[in-house]
Structure 1
Amino acid sequence: MSGHSKWHNIQAKKGKADAKRGKIFTKLGKEIMVAAKGGSNPDTNAKLRDVIAKAKAANMPADTISRAVKKGAGELEGVNYEEIVYEGYGPNGVAFVVNVLTDNKNRSASNVRVAFDRNGGNLGASGCVAWMFAKKGQIIIERTADMDEDEIMMTALEAGAEDVDAQEEAFEIITAMEDFSTVREALEAAGFEFASAEITMIPDNYVEVDLATAETVQRLVDRLEDDDDVQDVYHNAEFPEEFEG
């Protein structure tokens, strides 16, 4: 998820996901396969449990999830993917962290480097920008007319959430990584459905960019996310309100 995802950013990403749902499911399938290497039972594999929740929030079919789990656990033939993190700078010094799952490191490195080079950025050394981000759990619940705001806040905070941001069209719930599963499961048990639920990287500080720079940053995000090897793209750009994405 790109940047610190307030609801309008979530809507934009969901719209893009709907337009290329097959690619999204492929990426989620890879993530499930990697998580399932630690065991195929989500009850005893917290990472797998969280990734399955992320896939369900994206409306991934249950049988597709099941096949990915079996491939990762070795019950079905699958590909062995390696996790790699790339870091760099986009236009105007915007920090980028790019998570990759690949079966070909050379291809991935080349594609990511070209994406940066052609969109006003440059790939940096490992560790150059990751320190600017914090790994957090993030749950987005779309607001409906009959929703009880106090119940959401109470359920999330009592389960261990760090913050609940009640926005006009959605609730954004932030947790520590180790509390993500507990908070998510408490909200699920209370009957809430998620627009998204995942471990993400939230910037400590943001770089304000003008409209022209925002468009260039978004082109870089889109180019990276279109790559089959790229799982997630994070940045610290603060887009202008009028930016459509």
Structure 2
Amino acid sequence: MGGVLRAEPVWVETFTGLRADQFGRLLRAVRERGGEGTGWGRPWCLPLAERVLLVAVYYRTNLTMRQLAPLFGVSPDTVCRVIQRVGPLLSLEPVHAPTGAVDRLRIVDGTLIPVRDRSVAAFSRNYRFSANGQVIVDADTRLVVAAAHPVPGTTADARAWRDSGLAEHCQGVTVLGDGAYINTGLVVPHRKRPGRALLKGEEEDNTFARMKNYKILRDCRQRGGCLHHAIQAVAHMHNLALAA
């Protein structure tokens, strides 16, 4: 059975939100990380570009394995194998602040992500079993600098930040957080008063809101470390989509 989707510009832009050149950069990163390798077992029935497209479509649409299979002309088992093997290769590479960039401003951004795997989730204030995801964002470019491993959704943002290891990506720069990060050493701006203009970094839209255009972050059905891989991959694609 032949598939519908191919790694062609029209399908790439429609189903991933990336231009063809941006998808090409994602594909190149996956190839450099060993994406061509088959590991143990049968050779891949899809070329690397279509395997990367499959994973990106999965993260963007959150379709099930059975729904994705006929789109790519493969079995649901193959879809699962591709996601498990290629998904981690889409991960974001941490970005470090340039030397001497003392005026750089970064923002801690967090959200609750509904997830089916209760080993990484807890019944949270959104009334669903969720995990707490934290990212560091560059205030000027809106690029994600680093993403932490998700923790159960009942974990307070302040504790999630302390345990995340994200602070090592913020050496020598100012970091903003909202009221949930009081007493963590971060800069917490005062609550906005009516009529006062927003400060830099206080914009009402946040990075996770845009990242949730990738629906995997609205209801993750995967288990184990797959949510972490999904956050990393979505952050990578979010950064590529912001690129000129």
Please say whether Structure 1 and Structure 2 have the same fold, judged by a TM-score greater than 0.5.
Answer: no
If you compute each CA radius of gyration, which structure gives the higher value, 1 or 2? 2
Give the TM-score of the pair, scaled to structure 2: 0.30
Higher helix share goes to which structure? 1
Higher strand share goes to which structure? 1
Give the TM-score of the pair, scaled to structure 1: 0.30
